[in-house]
């Protein structure tokens, strides 16, 4: 694994915990120099962990949905290290599980601001830096299986992630001839800070065996499993992968709702 990102400079947002922290540690182990962003102070702990493991990282507290913050983290990467080769726009919020009739415009605006506009801002600023440098690059956006079809999140969250999937496709086309690739990752149920209430409730009720039971692997994911896919997209191994949304969900999104039986028969 070592060397897959040797000499590369990577920005990761949402790096204070979960998938972002796992990606930071993995990217660093693969040789990348990191510029980490998160709204919380936990991003500094992630940087400390990277450095303790022998990697190189700097940390900035930013709001991924504020243009000046995103522009600043990209500019900091260029000023400090001369380039941006990888940008992983991973920051996001869930907004709860409110229904169509329970939501407010304020909630929708906030979720779209962070989850969708935040990804666009990274494409805008990191993509421009990559294009100007002329060396290509990889931009990775965190979407969700909730953006593929219903049943995996609240309306606002699901709509925001559907937008991220489309943004990856549109951005790949807009960056035609630049060598900059844009792809999205669509996690299924993953044990992170965002999903902690779900996992805590399952532990309290002693039903953790039911977590992820709807996917063929019958389990939830760990952040490191998503980070591995992000590493693939960041590396040259995915040099011909562009404008795609990759579901990393244990197979959840491969089927419409069915009742599976022990005999192998499927009832629709």
Catalytic residue among 157, 172, 189, 214: 157
Position of tokens 């920051």? 91
Nearest to 188 by CA among 217, 155, 156, 159: 217
Clarify whether 240 is annotated catalytic. Answer: no
Residue 115 phi/psi, 5-degree rounding, is -75, -40
Q: Are strands 266-267 and 259-260 parallel, antiparallel or unpaired?
A: antiparallel
Of residues 26, 33, 30, the one with CA closest to residue 11: 33
Q: How far is CA 165 from CA 21, 76, 155, 233, in A?
A: 22, 27, 15, 15
Residues constituting the chain: 268
Catalytic residues: 157
């Amino acid at each position: 694994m070592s060397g897959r990102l040797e000499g590369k400079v990577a920005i990761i947002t949402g790096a204070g915990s979960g998938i972002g922290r796992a990606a930071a540690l993995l990217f660093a182990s693969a040789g990348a120099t990191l510029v980490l962003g998160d709204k919380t102070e936990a991003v500094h702990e992630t940087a400390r962990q990277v450095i303790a493991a022998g990697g190189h990282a700097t940390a900035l507290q930013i709001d991924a949905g504020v243009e000046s913050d995103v522009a600043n983290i990209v500019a900091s990467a260029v000023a400090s290290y001369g380039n941006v080769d990888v940008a992983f726009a991973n920051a996001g919020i869930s907004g709860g599980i409110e229904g169509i009739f329970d939501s407010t415009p304020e909630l929708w605006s906030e979720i779209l601001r962070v989850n969708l506009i935040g990804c666009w801002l990274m494409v805008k600023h990191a993509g421009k830096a990559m294009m100007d440098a002329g060396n290509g690059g990889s931009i990775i956006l965190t979407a969700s299986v909730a953006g593929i079809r219903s049943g995996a999140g609240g309306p606002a969250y699901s709509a925001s992630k559907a937008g991220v999937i489309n943004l990856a496709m549109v951005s790949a086309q807009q960056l035609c001839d630049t060598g900059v690739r844009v792809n999205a990752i669509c996690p299924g149920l993953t044990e992170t800070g965002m999903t902690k209430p779900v996992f805590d409730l399952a532990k309290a009720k002693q039903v953790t065996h039911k977590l992820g039971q709807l996917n063929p692997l019958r389990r939830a994911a760990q952040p490191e499993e998503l980070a591995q896919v992000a590493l693939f997209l960041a590396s040259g191994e995915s040099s011909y992968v562009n404008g795609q949304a990759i579901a990393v969900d244990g197979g959840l999104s491969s089927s419409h709702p069915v009742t599976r039986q022990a005999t192998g028969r499927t009832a629709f």
